[in-house]
Amino acid sequence: MLAREILAIRDGLRLDHLELTCLPADLHFHPERIAPAMDEAIVRARAEGYTNIRVGYADCGTGGMLDKVCEKHGVERMAGPHCFAFYQGMDRFEALADGDMRAFYMTDFLCRHFEAFFIRPLGLDRHPELAVDYFGNYEKLVYLAQTDEPALDRVAEDAAAMLGLVYERRATGYGDLATALAATRPQP
């Protein structure tokens, strides 16, 4: 779910030392599968000769299991409970957390893939009336915009209207993701 953003940061900051290996984004539908998949990916990377590995995941609902995998292999992961936190920056996320308790977050990735990640899997294309059942406890949709793309704004605005939620846009850029990647720069 972060590949495009990581590559943009890598290229923009000239972090040529970074190579990216992605796990399937749909693991987020099954957070219990993230830690085992990451374990396998780290083992595979070590077998290929990689020694300096960083995990570009927040906890993402693993309940600490991802941290156990990282500890087992001696690798670090991105700080935070999920990408919504580090896009806003952890300090800002924590400051807004109480007011966002009933917020449904969207990112550039989720706007690009709203149909594939929400509409079709939840059956909203066939049964739009289910939106109330799925999203009825949310009050607002907060679009955490990493870029300034009007087409993505329209997707987020349309999603908020379809779900009956108040729309809010926050221009976050890459937040702590950029800082975390910049920190991987080799020291002279």
pTM, to two decimals: 0.87
Cα 49 to Cα 111: distance, rounded to the nearest angstrom: 36
Please, which pLDDT band fits residue 100 given cuts at 50, 70 and 90?
very high
Which two three-digit tokens encode residue 120? 């079709």
**What are 47-88's pLDDT values in tens digits?**
999 999 999 888 989 999 999 999 999 999 988 888 899 899
Q: Is the pLDDT of residue 40 over 90?
A: yes
**What are 3-26's pLDDT values in tens digits?**
888 888 888 888 888 888 999 988
Alpha-carbon distances, residue 79 vs 46, 64, 148 (angstroms): 22, 12, 25
What is the pLDDT, as a whole number, of residue 187?
65
- For the chain, which residues make up each domain, given as ranges? 3-81+176-182, 90-171
Mean pLDDT throughout 143-166? 96
Please, which pLDDT band fits residue 179 given cuts at 50, 70 and 90?
confident
Nearest CA-CA partner of 154 in 163, 139, 140, 167:
167
What is the pLDDT, as a whole number, of residue 129?
92
Q: Is the pLDDT of residue 182 over 90?
A: no
What is the pLDDT, as a whole number, of residue 141?
97
All residues at 6 or more sequence positions from 57 whose CB lies less than 8 Å from its CB, including other chains? 23, 34, 38, 66, 77, 78
**Coil/strand/helix, residue 140:** strand
In the block, tokens 């920056």 appear at 89
Mean pLDDT throughout 87-111? 94
Exposure string of 88-99, with b = 16+ CB inside 10 Å and e = fewer, is bbbeebeeeeee
Mean pLDDT throughout 101-125? 94
Alpha-carbon distances, residue 110 vs 16, 28, 168, 181, 184 (angstroms): 27, 12, 15, 21, 26
Cα 118 to Cα 134: distance, rounded to the nearest angstrom: 10
